[in-house]
Amino acid sequence: MSKKENLDRDIDLKNYDDPSGVSLREMNFGLWLSEHRKIFLKSITIFLIILCAFFFIYSSYNLVIYFLSGDPNAGSDTSAVPTSPRQLTADLQISPLAVFSGDESSDLAVKLQNPNSKFMGSFKYCFTLAGNSLSCGNGFIMPGEDKYILALGQNLPGSQSEAEFKLTDIFWRRIDAHQIPDWNSFASDHLNFPVSAINFSSGSSNNLSEKISLNNLSFSIQNQTPYSYYEVPVNILLFNGEELVGVNRYVLENFLAGEKRDIKISWPGSLSAVNRTEIKPDLDILDDQIYLKYQGTPATD
């Protein structure tokens, strides 16, 4: 067959077999895509421009409405807005400020109650007198806890009626149920400090001093938790029936697991009408820094 006759033959592209494995259909699609590439690029560009213009106009509109009408939530009743139960907390309950006057200074106490069984709270507080700060600090309260915030040995040059307690910057932290599935068991395990042999004698009934009235308290306390603590502060609450009539505070240092201590303390004053004494630990058991690290037994030769 001559060269001319070979060129005049109809070529059937369906029988074409590309050594690279690309099919005829793929080749046709690629050719079509190349021919319409400019149209595709132009269409995508127009779509993106329209999309950007829409969001710009929408944002500008809401910004103008906000500045013209103010915060739409400012006048709304937030109590009517459904809240997730995971974020719902009740306010701390704060008792009236109690002032216990001594010969030279006074002790102040406020009772806080946390009605939230799944949230612990941290806060800042300040005892003030006529607007002037007396004693300020950072505090905490465990889930469902009742506790007292104390300010001991304060000089109150003005009227006691001008003394106030202020609570600010309250932050709620939900207890992680995955880490602590049973908070009551966790708290009991970390706060197991049984107190026994409590004996209180007021300044009016002891014979230690004829010139100075001294209140005297003795008790035994044992660390029955599996943990050792750098410090275990305890609040000492003195009652006449249900009425709180006096307060004090004591700190046990390096209190080891299983250890028992006999404590004797005295302080100026005369509290004759005391028929019940409570001694309660005041520990943030969620703070890893309070735990005394195990150091082991020193090696001997």
Give the tens place of pLDDT for each residue, 252-262. Answer: 999 999 999 99
Q: Where are the beta strands (DSSP E) in the chain?
A: 93-94, 98-101, 106-113, 119-129, 132-141, 146-154, 163-174, 195-201, 214-222, 229-240, 243-255, 260-268, 276-281
Give residue 4's pLDDT: 55
Give residue 299's pLDDT: 45
- 102 pLDDT more than 60: yes
Regarding pTM above 0.75, the answer is: no
- 76 pLDDT more than 50: no
Give the max Cα distance, the chain: 142
Q: Would you put residue 87 in left (φ > 0), alpha (ψ -120 to 50) or beta?
A: alpha
Q: What is the mean pLDDT of residues 72-76?
A: 42
For residue 118, count other CB atoms closer than 10 A to its CB: 18
